[in-house]
Structures are given as structure tokens and as C-alpha cells.
Amino acid sequence: MGRKKGRATTDFESLPGTVGTAVLGELIGTTQRYVQMLEHEGIISRLPSGDFDTKITLQKLFKYYRESKAKKSDLQAVKAEILKRKLAQIDGTLIPREQQESWQRVVVAMLANTLEEAPARYAKNFPELSLVDAQERLIKIFGDEGIKGKLYTTFKKIAENPNIEDAEEANDIEVDGI
């Protein structure tokens, strides 16, 4: 049976039905020792006669090589991601996990202090209210019941759920005591 141009064929008739270690090694372009290693690892197996079924063995080898190539690609992708993160840390664009919590505390404390000062600073901008009434209203907006409380709640949710990627996702999570 001849092979037609442009069409793949699965014509195994031209190959021997079974082969020994030496012929299999020659067929796949490797040594007998490598064939024995493949057998020892369970990638290929012999027939009870001691030979290898050519078709089944070649199919197992192709499957093994495809899977090992895919694993190498996955491993290369993981290595690339690790390298990317290390470079980002060196550049200063990625904060190491060990430092994230302390950085978050600094940011939260700075924002909380700013929010605590806001009512006294902005109360005079409401001339229609007494200074005390304006401060009380602003405390509700900026204080523990308002923006400051929301800020602490959001940071607590992020700390307890490190996989959160955005503010909307943080708002959707229930946290005990909040």
C-alpha cells in the first residue's frame, strides 16, 4: 500500500509485529539500555514471549513523549512566572508576601489618622450647622460607622482571604464579627 501525498497513514503492515530490544532501540533511534530503562519505568512493556508489540509500543512511546513535552512546557511556564515575580520584587513593583501585612498596616493607619482628622478640619465648611453638629455628622461619614470602618472591614477581609483581586470581590465576602 503506497502513501498518498498529503495524507497521513497508520499502515503498520511494513513494520514487524514484534521486535526485540535491539531492533526497538534501532527503530526509535536509541540504545538497548534506554529501551530497558523505558521498560523498567513502566512506559513500555514486553509480551509474554519477551518481545515488544511494535504498534502498541510505538503508541505508548508517542504518548509518553507528548505528555513529557507538555509537562516540560508546564514546568517552563512555572519557572517563567517565578522569574517574573523575582524580577518584579527587584524592580520594586511587587511587594514580597512577608512585607505585605506590615505595609497594609502602615497604609491603613495613615488613612485612619487622616479620616479621624477630617471632621474637625471640614466642620467649618457647613455654616448652616453648629460646629458640634457638623463634626458629629462628619464623624458618622468618616469614622468607624463610615469610611474608616469600611476601610478596616475591607482590609480585614483581604487579610483573611489573600486571593481577593478587587474591591467588589472583597465586599461580597462575609467575615465573622463584621
pLDDT in tens, 2-45: 555 555 555 667 778 899 999 999 988 989 999 999 999 898 99
The letter for the amino acid at 11 is D
Confidence band of 166 (pLDDT split at 50, 70, 90): low
pLDDT band (50, 70, 90) for residue 98: low
What is the per-residue pLDDT across 41-90, written as a single tens digit (0 to 9) for each? Answer: 898 999 999 999 998 999 999 888 888 877 777 777 778 887 777 776 66
What amino acid occupies position 43? I
Cell numbers standing for residue 62: 508517542
Contact predicate 1/11, CB 8 Å: yes
Q: Is 97 exposed, middle or buried (0-12, 13-18, 19+ CB in 10 A)?
A: exposed
pTM of the model: 0.38
